Structure 1
Amino acid sequence: MMNRIFNFVRARLKKYILEEIWLEDYIKMGMKIGENCSIQPGVIFDYSHCWLIKIGNNVTIAPQAYLLTHDASTKSITNYTKLGSITIEDNVFIGARALIMPGVTIGKNSIVGAGSIVTKSIPSDSVAVGNPAKVVATVQEYLNKTNHLIEKSHTYDHSYTIKGKISANNKDKMYQELMNEMGFVV
């Protein structure tokens, strides 16, 4: 009896759960991604128009960022959906949970802060943050402001990362050292 109930529930749920989509699936559908990119877990690309997304080389997109190429907010009124391409140029960093809206280009060597909602294009060499995202500094100005932090803070080599197979001892050591400050991995 339990098996029968389980199978019934599973069959009903299957209708409502989207199938898992991999990065390769987006690429097959026409999305362009350059070389040496780091796309973190949970990034969402607009499935319905992913071929409108172009990502350059050396781009990092942090977890749960969202790239949206369509806006259906007026579909029920006008019977039209607005579309726009998204271009992420080379050497860009997009922070966690940032939302990139249709029609946006993020210029080369730029940084988009975590949680930012980008509704307009960002020029090259810029740092943009907020809702809506606004340019707050050039990348060089930002680096100048943060360089003193690197000199004063703990720094850690590759062995203090998951890819570097950080040990349990080093995890504890790092936690204790960083309880009240920001550290940097080189």
Structure 2
Amino acid sequence: MRLRRCGAAAVLVELDSLTEVAAARAALADLPGVVELVPAARTVLVSFASGAGRLKQVSELLDNADLSNAPVSDSRTVVLPSVYDGPDLELVAETAGLSVEDTVALHTSAEYTVAFCGFSPGFAYLTGLPEPLRQPRLDTPRTRVPVGAIGVAGEFTGVYPRSSPGGWRLLGRLADDTDALFDPARTPASLLAPGDRVRFEAR
């Protein structure tokens, strides 16, 4: 673990794994004066209302925390109705050594956790992807991935909240009646937040 000052009122905690990130985020959640916690793949940014003595506070708290286990979350579960007709579904199935039907069943049988958000507003990196579906990105990224596309890349699965370039292997898409992943007119604007549990439900 490594701590870095970020401006006058924030501390960046550098960690070694997603498990440590989740554990550190949980430990820091109740620290007095915290305004925002921003997890990423290997860091947590802790922003405070004021910065005096905060580096020491963060250091002391995390030195006494168990960062080896991700905490059990009491966050909500979000179900995403999904249609599995993606252009890379057969590629993912072949690479995994599974039938298309078993690939869909495997993806929908898992419960995922939002590890962090990034890339674009509303994009959530979901952990919990079954091992056979952990596959590399495409050799050549697409210049346009449609909104709602469901993809896998490495240890993550996720859904594109808006049309954008992207290199993830696409399994399908969200059903048309699914709530928007990001809506600036909604509070909160993002449907998914770190710590949320997510399940995909085949239509």
Query: Which of the pair is proportionally richer in strand?
Result: 2
TM range (shorter): under 0.3
* TM-score normalised per structure 2: 0.22
Report which of the two structures shows the higher radius of gyration computed on alpha carbons.
1
Give the structure, 1 or 2, with the largest relative contact order (CA under 8 Å, sep 6 or more).
2
